[in-house]
Amino acid sequence: YSFYQSLHAELSDFNVTDNLPELRLAFHAAPWMAIKGTYAFDYVLVGGDAYSYSHILSPSAVFTVWKGITAALEYTYRTNHFMNSDLFASNSDRTGFNNTVGVTCSVPVGSYGSVKVGYAYDSEKTREDFWDYTGNKVLAGLQVNLPYQLYLDLYGEYLTKNYGGLFPSTTDRREDIAKTASISFTKILSDTFSLSAGQLYRRNKSNSDLFDYNRAISSLFINARF
């Protein structure tokens, strides 16, 4: 179960509350292959009002290729239900479903950590075609094992989205290019608890001024595993 709460100093109407229970199953079909499956229910409130809920199904297969090198093939089907509110009067236009297929390869680097690279394609269908899109994402990550049970994670992704219809009051179909980079440090405190601090930067470049933005997020997490 994951819980997320954001708190704004001034824009309290945009505080996000996210509840995410998950059920995960896995078994080894062969010494070189594991089959996994996940069901999740994602319920989101914004400013204390119901914003959306989603059902998520995600089967995957993980293959051990050679000397710890793994390749994971994953498919995700997600149904999204958006609710209207005073702040988001036409939010329900985004109700629909998403199909995503992706592959990720992870390569261990001795006792120093691991490197991963991946690609994913997704397609979103909604009630209004100006929210429909097809997307392509490439990603790369690096985990470094440091002394004193410290871990460094570096991550970057490049995502393109091409939308199906014209957004109201625009003359061109929306096209976005989102670049994301993040860094985080995790300190293992015990078998149960760890502490993570990170910084994320995202640049969403869009041909529509409505969706062109920069975002920087600093984070501090206390993690618990039971």
200: Cα within 13 Å, side-chain hemisphere: 13
Please state whether the predicted TM-score (pTM) of the whole model is above 0.85: yes
Task: Name every residue whose Cβ is closer than 8 Å to that of residue 213 and which is 6 or more positions away in sequence.
Answer: 204
When pLDDT is cut at 50, 70 and 90, the band that residue 66 belongs to is confident
What does the alpha-carbon distance between residue 185 and residue 147 come to, in Å, rounded to a whole number?
12
Short-list 217, 208, 206, CA closest to 16? 217
Write the burial class of residue 102 (CB in 10 Å: 0-12 exposed, 13-18 middle, 19+ buried).
Answer: middle
Average pLDDT over residues 150-158: 98
- Cβ atoms of residues 22 and 1 within 8 Å: yes
What's the count of helices (H) and strands (E) in the chain, helices before strands? Answer: 0, 13
Q: Are 97 and 76 in contact (CB under 8 A)?
A: no
Residues 6+ apart with CB under 8 A from 175: 160, 161, 162, 163, 206, 207
At 219 the three-state DSSP class reads strand
pLDDT at 170: 85
Mean pLDDT over each residue of the chain, to the nearest integer: 95
State the pLDDT at residue 171: 86
Strand 22-30, strand 2-5: pairing: unpaired
What DSSP string describes 142-172? EEEEETTTEEEEEEEEEEEEEESSPPTT-SS
pLDDT at 43 > cutoff 90: yes
Average pLDDT over residues 192-196: 96
Single-letter residue type at 76: T
The three state secondary structure string of 28-70 is EEECCEEEEEEEEEEEEEECCEEEEEEEEEEEEEEEEEECCEE
> What would the pLDDT profile of 99-121 be if each residue is shown by its tens digit?
999 999 999 998 899 999 999 99
Judge whether 47 and 87 are in contact, CB under 8 Å.
Answer: yes
What's the alpha-carbon Rg for the chain, to the nearest Å? 19
Cβ proximity of 154 and 141 under 8 Å: yes
According to the model, what pLDDT value does residue 19 have?
Answer: 97
In this structure, what token pair is assigned to residue 96? 């629909």
- How far is 26 from 37, CA to CA, in rounded Å? 6
> In this model, does residue 169 exceed pLDDT 90?
no
